Amino acid sequence: MEWKQVIKINYPQLFFVFAAFFLMVLVSYISISAIVQRRLSQSVDEVMLTAEANIRAGLSEAEASMNHVGRTVRAMLDGGASQKEVLDYLTDTNRRMQRNDTWLFGFHGIYGYLRDEFIDSIGLEPGPEFIPQTRPWFDAAVRNTGETSVHTEPYVDALTGDIILTAVRNIHGASGEYYGILAIDMDTAWFRNYARSPRVGNGSYYIVLNQYMAMVGHPGDEVIGRQLHDICDGYREIYDRLMTRREISSLRIEDRDGSSAIVSFKRMYNGWYVGVVTPSGIYYQDVYDTAAILSLLGFILMSILSYILLRLSAAKMRSDEENRSKSSFLARMSHEIRTPMNAILGLSELAQREYGKPKALEYITGIRSAGAGLLTIINDILDFSRIEAGNLPLHPAPYQTASLLNDVLTILRMRMSEKSLKLIVAVSPELPGSLLGDAGRGKQILLNLLSNAVKYTDEGFIRFSASGEAEGEDSIRLTFTVEDSGIGIKKEDLPKLFGEFTRIDEKRNSAIEGTGLGLIIARSLCQAMGGDITVTSEYGKGSVFTATLTQRVADRKPMGDMTRVMARREQPHSASFTAPEAEVLIVDDFTSNLLVAEGLLIPYKMRVFTCLNGREAVERVRERSFDLVFMDHMMPEMDGVEATRVIRAMKEERCRTLPIIALTANAVSGMREMFLENGFNDFLSKPIEVTKLDTVLEKWIPAGKRRDAP
């Protein structure tokens, strides 16, 4: 019997086999390719994060040195030091820094332009043709209005002829007078060498851009310092994307040599950009390999099945019995083929459905929770290491007393939401409205004590009280008491409570997470602030922790009755209207405060946007027309008063009439008038009273956008 005849008779079956395996390979390829490309993208993101961390570490060295030298020079100039004394100090500093071989970037030297004179501490010995005002470092300092450090674009060093990068900052005296400029030169060779090192694949390289889109790091020395869009068409496409999106993920471009490449970019903490460029062939190599393996397996399986099918067909022609056997065998084979095919197709569809859906989010939530727990442990260990090294940093700054207490109690309420506990708050209204100290460390102490109370109390109450006692003219001794009705502490365990890595009653508390470092860290922080933590407890009935610390007084005006305001805020209240078309912006530097404000606005069904500082708020207002802005007062980078002034100064008419409401814990007498004088339209104090919130919204949300509440 000829095989041509067998093939002709079984042509429909062969076509089905070819089609079935082609479909199986195609669907599998699409599913697996999506997974592979997602992992490739994640790998590139990890590489860019690593690069940013390394660059940040290197720049931080220069910034730390600049800050130290800047403070010293300012103190010398305030003290009337001569130019020669400053020159001698900078020259000696250069010698010491050049002997330090731990610099990540090459250190070239530190010099300055102070009191209208170039301080030649690097041995440049400039001639009359040297004009500091024409140098890139001078131009960068002029463009930098503040006292923070900025970096120039890469340029040729007048002393060595090397391509360098300079960190500069302006120096102002204690009275605000302008002294001049300090500059630190760094070698860019590290950037060029580092640009050749990403672990993505052979032929890949980094690109590092500064905030002006000038090339800082690239394997090609000839492009260092040039503008990105001037190098080639592919880089111009990168420039256009970054100017509109600020980040790029897996963009295909034509590289400088004409080859196809895949690029990803992200913006760094200082406004610079780091990117990874990978040849397309290398980037998609895993995808190509996957396709080749699937195709080969499909071809082998298809060939085997086709051969079996043809042999069975030939046997059928020999006898009816063999034909019946062949039919039975084909039926079984059809089932066996469809089973893995259905599994492949079904699992692919399930994977597509699960991606981004609740089950996947459940996994991600688990990872996030574990990561948050690990981060807490790491932070505790780092703080404990600093304590053991005698280097526990405190950063004093003015802060609002009510704001600190409100933030702590807001977080506490979130943590208490899973338990039926009653919170009793007793805060003295006579506490000063503004204090000077490390507010972040103060929150850390209180949150540790309050979180422990929540952990070890399943029912009953938690009582928090705060009071103060004057110490001298400008200091106050704060006393915080946290009492709970929890499990208590055995008398013999009390001496162990502040031990290192110690957890008491381990058998009973085995299900409660923790490192055993929280209390010793909190106590060390109190002691660093001139106080301490003491504890009394009765096993089975509860515990009382008392923390004391000393703070400077910035404003003696009493902060007011915070307990009464919080009690009013907790009273139930219904929204008097809804406004689905209204858009509201909330600005606050504390995430928990944003969550609380968002929650209080839910009944009004408005579209709510949030940001964490005044500078970001200005950008949001510039980009979008809001109906109302709730603006916090004390924030980093740009506070609420300054942000409001900037918004009011914008040329758009809507910015001058935009309702801006001061949302702040600074509710002492006279503050409302201060806010109104600085461009605010109204005032709402924290903790937020829902009745006052409703009044403010009804007053300032446009009537055309308000709807009757259901």
**What is the model's pTM?**
0.38
Read off the pLDDT band of 55 (50, 70, 90): confident
The answer, yes or no, to whether residue 122 has pLDDT greater than 80, is: yes
Q: What pLDDT does 330 receive? A: 39
The answer, yes or no, to whether residue 630 has pLDDT greater than 90, is: yes
Q: Say which amino acid occupies 56.
A: R
Read off the pLDDT band of 3 (50, 70, 90): low
Ranking 179-193, 419-433, 462-476 by mean pLDDT, the lowest is: 179-193
As a whole number of angstroms, the distance between CA 467 and CA 471 comes to 13
Read off the pLDDT band of 287 (50, 70, 90): low
Q: Say which amino acid occupies 504.
A: I
Ranking 69-78, 150-159, 471-480, 561-570 by mean pLDDT, the lowest is: 561-570
The answer, yes or no, to whether residue 386 has pLDDT greater than 50, is: yes
- Cα torsion through 75, 77, 79, 80, rounded to 10: 170
As a whole number of angstroms, the distance between CA 100 and CA 572 comes to 64
632 within 8 A of 652, measured Cβ to Cβ: no
Q: What pLDDT does 345 receive? A: 41
Q: What pLDDT does 410 receive? A: 75
Two tokens, residue 674 = 């201060």
Mean pLDDT, all residues of the chain: 78
Two tokens, residue 43 = 């790998």
What three-state secondary structure class fits 422? Answer: strand
What are the pLDDT digits (tens) for 58-77? Answer: 777 778 888 888 899 999 99
Q: What pLDDT does 346 receive? A: 44
208 within 8 A of 266, measured Cβ to Cβ: no
Read off the pLDDT band of 566 (50, 70, 90): low
As a whole number of angstroms, the distance between CA 596 and CA 9 comes to 75
Work out the average pLDDT over 594-601: 82
| More confident position, 93 or 505 | 93
Q: What pLDDT does 503 receive? A: 57
What are the pLDDT digits (tens) for 81-94? Answer: 998 999 999 999 88
